[in-house]
Homo-oligomer: A and B are copies of this chain.
Amino acid sequence: MTTTDTTRNGVDTATLFATLDAVKQAPEAAKFQFRAHNEWVSGTHNRTTIADYFGVGEERSHEHTFVFDADHPAVLVGRDHGPTPVEFVLHALAACLTAGVASIAAARRIKLTEVRSTVTGDIDLNGLLGLNPGVRNGYEQITVRFTIKGDAPAEKLREIVEQSRARSAVYDIITNRMPVTIEVDTR
């Protein structure tokens, strides 16, 4: 069996199934820790470096070090050096659901030709500005609109999106409660 035989949608399904089998044999291998290192620049502008992580029993590094700036636009008292933090959340959700769609379609032997999505988040800043205690700080609602095309009936394509949602890490993080601990060192 060649790579071509097992690769669909750019997903090497032989590797995918081998990875699943390996984790079944050694569940500890699936324990990962991801990390983001952030440094304040000025005002609402700050910069995150993503490089190191832990997984499959050892410390690892991405093939490249990734650096991202975040800021507020001028209308929100920033200088627009990067997207706002809340826009990165929308990106993370789109990316997670889309990676899932490609992988699940490959596993189900469905060839995709197009997957696009627009994620919108509606937010009332009266919440985080402290002006209305009845308004939450975060988005009031998020909507994901997918356009998906491939060699399967519409119903099968919809089922792939539904299965991606059901297994999405970021969808879980956003839609359910997640414990977050904050520690502060002032030395």
Q: Which A residues are closer than 8 A to B by beta carbons?
A: 9-12, 15-16, 19-20, 23-24, 27, 30-46, 48, 50, 53, 55-56, 60, 62-64, 66, 68, 70-73, 75-78, 80, 82-99, 101-103, 106, 112, 114-132, 136-149, 154, 157-158, 161, 165, 167-187
Contacts and interface: CB of A to CB of B under 8 A. Distances in A.
Contacts of A142: 178-181
A40 B185 contact: no
Secondary structure of the A contact surface, majority rule: mixed
Given A34-B120, A158-B186, 5 more contacts: A34-B121, A36-B94, A40-B98, A136-B172, A146-B184
Nearest to A130: B167
Contacts of A84: 34
By Cβ-Cβ distance, the 10 closest A-B pairs, closest first, are A10-B42, A10-B43, A70-B95, A138-B172, A38-B94, A40-B115, A85-B96, A36-B90, A30-B125, A138-B173
29 contacts: A19-B76, A20-B131, A23-B129, A30-B125, A31-B122, A32-B122, A33-B123, A36-B87, A43-B99, A43-B106, A44-B99, A46-B95, A48-B94, A60-B73, A68-B91, A86-B169, A88-B95, A97-B182, A140-B179, A141-B181, A143-B180, A147-B185, A148-B185, A148-B186, A157-B186, A158-B184, A161-B184, A175-B178, A175-B179
B157 A184 contact: yes
A177 B180 contact: no
Contacts of A46: 94-95, 98-99, 102, 115
Contacts of A132: 27
A167 B116 contact: no
A140 to B, nearest CB: 8
Contacts of A95: 38, 46, 48, 70, 85, 88
